[in-house]
Structure 1
Amino acid sequence: MKSLIVAALVAAGGGGSYWFWQQQQSGEVELGGYVPADTALYIGGQTSPAIVSQLEHLYAQPDMGTDIKMLASEIEQGGDYPALNRFAASLMRDLFAPGTDIQALYSRLGLVISGPQQLFVDGLVPVLHISAEKSATFTQFWAQHGRSAGLPVFENELDGSPYTRIQLSPPEEANRIDLIVAQTGEMAVLTFATPFDSDNELAQRLRLKQPEENLLQSGTLGQIAQRYGFTKEFSFLFDIEAIAKAVLGVDQTRMAKDLEALFALTQEPAPAATLTQVCREEYASIAGWVPRIVAGYTSIQTEPGVSISSRSVLEVKSGEVLNQLNLLNGHVPNHVADANQQLFGLGVGLDMDQLMPVTVQLWNQFTQQTFACAELRQMQQQAASNNPAMLGLFTGMAQGIKGVGLSLYDFTYGNAIQPIKSLDLLLSVATQNPALLASMAAGSPAAAFGQIPTDGSTASVDLSEIQPGLSAEVGLKGQHLTFAMGAKGRAAANALASEALEPNGLLAMSLNYPAFGRLVEAFPLDAIEPLITDSETSVCLERARVVELLRQQPVKAAYRMGFSPQGFDSTVDLDIDAQEEPGLINPVGSFTLYDQTWDCPQGVMVGLEEIRADGTGTYEENDESGACSTYAYDYRWSQSGNRLSFDITSSRGRSDCVGDWEEYGTFAASCTLIPSAEGFGCIYEDDESDGLFAYKRR
């Protein structure tokens, strides 16, 4: 699914962040009080309306419709239980219907977008609690889809409270898995019932009874927030140690009991069945070295735009190991982290002087550890036969290097002969031995830089072999070897003169989505079009999708990771500009259509279309000579934002001007509108095809 991959690009920078939550003091008792204290996964808080209003347009991206239809169709046709397949496909089509945003989805489900919500596991069973309106809309939504798909749907009661049970297993199966849907007060519940559940456990999931030991009483979330500087707006907990102990059977938690019951039910051996008790305990002890992943927000602002700083930590509890790992942090040049000043930045930090000794020390710690488990002793023997001293051959050549950074500030495409019209960038290397590195770089046959000044000045590098007239500047700025092009690149290089080599992590990255979108849009694909015409993928169409996707993302993102005194630490900073209402494109008029799916700059003239103000329209294609119409359809249209939906009421075609017309029937299609001076562009989708079209006014 190409466009799903495109959407993932945005999600990587925070574009898909629907879990922007505010955890209220009043809601904390309601939420944590119904969560078992030994849960292995918890995500909870309260959505912020201000943030949702900035991000709701990300829910239904312009090119998702076709992918959703394809995926729903594949689900419907696969599997061994047709009713369950129909249920899953129907839900997908409804939840991801074209034009659906977060507000519309919550309204359709009867949910309250600004209320408290939480997702957790009760043993093995996922449970969702989410604020809802005082109505039966939520339960009716699920029940209706279940009945329409042919699944058995039951209305039950527990302790006097009603709930809906949708049987997901085939009727002939004795051990049933049911989807449980309910509303308790102003909180909707979505969970499952398994053959090894008791009424008491189901009552806890339905918020009818609190667990005797719950997450609120344990104080776990408060302790995490205090330790890591998290605000009260969002909580995430993933307990690696608890899962390992449950799988290994060394703790009698709810998850461990569920696993034991599950394997007994399926008559399958447990994963740890062949392990001795001492091996189970020692494996569980190793899992305790990295017991949890925790995450939360460290700051959040919603005016005028949205600014969010978040942090996630993979905890490392072995003090000796953590001390060694922290020595690996290098110096990532600071210029890569400023998303406001560049299109893209990427930096890697690694203290090359520490890599060899740290690796040897960690290797020694593992090989000298005392284990009673035979499998672990065998691993030690294998590790002992692979001496890491050979790593010194590599690290010796990079002595003194602490990090490398690349910042792309600007790029303008020229033409096929001279593709680089202008380029603004900085490549820098942070080193404790700048003069030595400069000497090595100058003497490199690949570099041919000549003498690199060591007094803070720069030397010009002729890059005519790459492109005539192209040049760059190299020099030493403090403890940084720099290679700069363009005014911004040179200014950033000069600023490095005062930047000390302080350990600040392993990786840093920044991305300015709007600026990157403009770069993608300006890059002409006609130069490479002959290379892609035989491909199944239209680069023209995919570029239009990426540009439209990035155009809607007013996001500047910065990411950093490295080791800290708590473990493996990562931070994300997002700046989301206040969204302006996009100018609505008026599609009414008479147009000549050009198919640009495989011909980006011009397109091939394919037909004439009239879109009328009364909500109707017609489309016609002529034969090659233009003498007559050979294909036509009539439709009704509606507009939501800059998305057109077409309901084709009749379509017909013929082979030539004297042939008989053949009726083709009805179908549905959609068009995401793209601004254009001559009319508008259209990213077109129907059940069988997609394409890129230019509508030029006649």
Structure 2
Amino acid sequence: MNKMLIAAVVVAAGAGGYWYSQQSTQVSAGDNPVLSYVPADTPIFSAQLQPFPIKSYINSLSEAYRQYPIDAFDELEQDLEQENDARAQFFVSLMKSYMASMKDGSTFIQTFGLAENIRSYFYTLGAMPVVKVDIDNPDAFWALLDKAEVESGFTHTKAYLKGVDYRSYRLTDATEQDQIDWVFAVHDGLLISTLSTSFSEATLLETAFGVTPIDNSIVDAHIIEDIINKYGFTNEGISYINHKEIVTALTTTDGNQLAGQLSKLFEMSKEDPFAELKTPACQQELSTIADNWPRTVAGYDLLEITDKESNIGFRAVIESQNQVLLNAYQKLRGYIPAYTQDIENSVFTLGVGIDTNQMVPSLNAIWDDMLTPEYQCAPLEAMQAQMSQQSPGMLGMFTGMANGVKGVAVSLIDYKISDDIDNPQLESLDAVMTLSADNPSMLFNLAKPFVPELGNVQLPVNGDAIDLNSIIPMPPEMNFKAKMAIKGNHLVIFAGNKGEAIANSLATEPVVNNGLMVMSADYMKMFKPLLTFIELTGEPVPEGLEAVKDYDMRVKMSLDVDQKGFEVDSLSNSRSTE
């Protein structure tokens, strides 16, 4: 995970990035008063509806992950001092405070005035971002801003609006006609951060503060409950990007709140960069495309957080109503072996599932579907004309040679590098690589002309392995024995006892179309042996990789497609430093 996600929870957009789940009780958005001020036409929304244990989560991270270089901002600060940019220095001060606060969970929540468990929200009022976070000690947060003001010379203006005191920081130059302010307020137990401009509606800031109601909210539209029920996310929170609202904003002048704001901005600048999209043809055709791809939605399937370890399962779905394309992409799905799913006992894995027999007909179906509409909208017409000059049919030659292939995969299970500086070598290697197909023996024979060393090699059909080292000589410093075998429907190359065990297990593993792609990595296992060896040789460690070797973190990401759309599934596991 990116370190900046934690800062985003407190300071900027992305506040709803994590959710914590320990129960399966139903959640009604109507029970949350904050959501009644979120408009149903918001283009972007992310909410943490149940308290997330921010203190425990930070403690669960490796110590190296929570540390930042002491001199991270030295060069930038010197440049800012020369430019006398107080605003930038203010932001740098906040970031330095954040970096220092990541020492541990207690320091973090004390620095920002947060409770141990927090709710957070991020959404937009048209184009105006709004961040809201549960706050336990407002004085601590104001003290943090005061410290940044002293260090930068960038000061605030106090203001009052319908019962809410707030701070306003001017982001634009005083000489500019139109002004933009960064606003902070605490109201009803929430820290609120947003922008205020001289050209926005008068009620916009009131709505952001939660003191002026709106006519049609996200609660009224039942958006949250519908997404949770449709995709089976945990009830604690969801995120989404509404493609339809964004298209409406770009193709109309007043179709939604964002459209009205953009129109006003373009009128002020006397230039509309999206003018060509506002023709009737573009409005209709882009709206149809948006109807077929309405939203990207996301939520969590797994959240287990303690001071020692965190497990977070996150899933995003790009919704689609285009069944022609979805059927075509589903036919492309191939086979991904079970061993690629194990993030606890591997260094790195990659699996790609593609049914080569379906590649050309599926891509042709996709191509035909995209070229079928006779677009009148100029940008779409130009894109379609460019596509018509290409054809996926040329892939036929490749797929003919790879007939019956269902997928390829590789796993680096373990490796060790000797600590002998005078004689560096790979001490041991456990790995496996597979090509899964209807008839792997036939594919092996087809590949022989391209690898002369394999010309006289005959692979036993009974699954016995042959020694590759005697056929393809390895450098002496590569201290491992590679073997090749056909195990069921899999052509396998493996090394080490662990690699052999996986190869043998494949003999009875059926080849089924179960996905498109999966990738995983264990940061500590991947980088620690290599970087330790670099240090022993006296060579400088590449910048940015020094701390990675101590990240006790595992991640996995997969891509698939079903009748609801494209699905990106991720899992991360992090353990604190013992």
How do 1:319-330 and structure 2 match up within 5 A?
319-330=323-334
Distance in 2 between residues matched to 1:34 and 1:313, nearest whole Å: 26
1:75–1:88 CA contact under 8 A, matched in 2: no
The amino acid that maps onto 1:462 is N
Contact 1:139–1:183 (CA under 8 A) maintained in structure 2: no
Q: Is the aligned partner of 1:186 residue 2:189?
A: yes
Kindly indicate whether the alpha-carbon contact (under 8 Å) linking 1:478 and 1:497 is maintained by their aligned counterparts in 2. Answer: yes
Range 418-427 or range 37-46, more displaced? 418-427
Aligned amino acid, residue 499 of structure 2: G
| Stretch deviating more after TM superposition (291-300 or 27-36) | 27-36
Question: In 1, distance between residues paired with 2:334 and 2:76?
Answer: 44
Letter of the aligned partner of 2:485 in structure 1? G
Q: Which residue is 2:11 aligned to? A: none
2:473 alignment partner AA: E
Residue type of the partner of 1:500? P
Q: Looking at secondary structure, tell me which structure has more helix per residue.
A: 2
Matched, 1:448 2:454: yes
CA contact (8 A) 1:249 1:272 kept: no
Instruction: Tell me which residue corresponds to 1:559.
Output: 557
More strand by share: 1
Residue pair 1:127, 1:191 contacting (<8 A) in 2 also: yes
Structure-2 change in CA distance of 1:56 and 1:127 (3 Å): farther
The match for 2:464 is: 457
Write the letter of the residue equivalent to 1:575: N
- Correspondence 1:202 to 2:212: no
Q: Which moved more, 1:417-426 or 1:120-129?
A: 417-426
Q: Which has the higher contact order (CA 8 A, sep 6+)?
A: 2
State how far apart, in whole Å, the 2-side matches of 1:260 and 1:483 are. 60
Alignment of 1:81-92 (within 5 A): 82-92=85-95
Q: Which of 547, 567, 570 is matched with 1:569 structurally?
A: 567
> Aligned residue for 2:10?
none
Structure 1 residues 169 and 53 mapped into 2: Cα distance closer, same or farther (>3 Å)?
closer
Give the conservation status (yes or no) of the 8 Å contact 1:335–1:405.
no
- Contact 2:55 2:116 (8 Å CA) reproduced: no
Q: Which residue of 2 aligns with 1:336?
A: 340
Structure 1 segment 298-317 matched on structure 2, within 5 A: 298-302=301-305, 305-317=309-321
| CA shift in 2, pair 1:137/1:542, >3 Å | closer
CA contact 2:296–2:319 (8 Å) conserved in 1: yes
Structure 1, unaligned runs of 5 or more: 533-537, 583-698
Between the aligned partners of 1:183 and 1:511, the Cα distance in structure 2 is 41
| Residue 592 (structure 1) aligns with | none
| Equivalent in the alignment of 1:413 | 417
Structure 1 residues 138 and 210: alpha-carbon distance in aligned structure 2, compared to 1, 3 A threshold: farther
Partner of 2:515: 505
- For residue 275 of structure 2, the aligned residue among 265, 272, 276 is 272
Decide which of 497, 500, 515 is 2:525's aligned counterpart: 515
Q: Identify if the C-alpha distance between structure 1 residues 173 and 542 changes in structure 2 by more than 3 Å, giving closer, same or farther.
A: closer
Q: Distance in 2 between matches of 1:320 and 1:497?
A: 36
C-alpha contact (below 8 Å) 2:60/2:310 kept by paired residues: no
Q: Determine if contact 2:55/2:109 at 8 Å carries over to the other structure.
A: no
Write the letter of the residue equivalent to 2:300: Y
Secondary structure of the corresponding residue to residue 327 of structure 1: helix
Hey, what does 1:117 align to over in structure 2? 120
SS in 2 for 1:539: coil
1:433 matched to 2:439? The reply is yes
Looking at structure 2, the residues matched to 177 and 557 of structure 1 have their Cα atoms a distance apart, in angstroms, of 40
Of 248, 253, 258, 1:255 maps to 258
Aligned alpha-carbon RMSD (Å): 3.2
- Offset, 1:408: 1.0
Structure 2 unmatched runs, 5+: 8-13
Counterpart Cα distance in 1 of 2:345 and 2:389: 49
Aligned partners of 1:140, 1:76: CA distance in 2, in Å? 23
Equivalent position amino acid for 1:514 in 2: M
Distance 1:7 1:150, change over 3 A: closer
Find the counterpart in structure 1 of residue 384 from structure 2.
Answer: 380
The whole-number CA distance in structure 2 between the counterparts of 1:70 and 1:17 is 29
What's the counterpart of residue 69 of structure 1? 74
Find the counterpart in structure 2 of residue 494 from structure 1: 504
Per-residue deviation at 1:576?
3.4
**Structure 2 vs 1, CA of residues 288 and 67 (structure 1 numbering), >3 Å: closer, same or farther?**
farther
- Superposed counterparts of 1:125-144, under 5 Å: 125-133=128-136, 135-139=138-142, 141-142=144-145
> Deviation per CA, 1:145-203, whole angstroms, max 9, x where unpaired?
34764445222221232222222222222311011111112111111101232332211
Q: Which amino acid aligns with 1:460?
A: D
Shift in Å, 1:138: 2.9
- Give 1:7 shift: 6.9
Question: How far is 1:103 from its partner?
Answer: 3.6
SS at match of 1:260: helix
Distance 1:292 1:70 in 2: 42
User: What's the % identity of the aligned pairs?
Assistant: 25
Please give the secondary structure, in 2, of the residue aligned with 1:96.
helix
Match of 2:169 among 166, 170, 178: 166
CA contact (8 A) 1:182 1:190 kept: yes
Q: Give the deviation of 1:275 after TM superposition.
A: 5.0
Deviation at 1:228, TM superposition (A): 1.0
Q: Secondary structure at the match of 1:33?
A: helix
Distance of aligned partners of 1:75 and 1:388 in 2 relative to their CA distance in 1, 3 Å threshold: farther
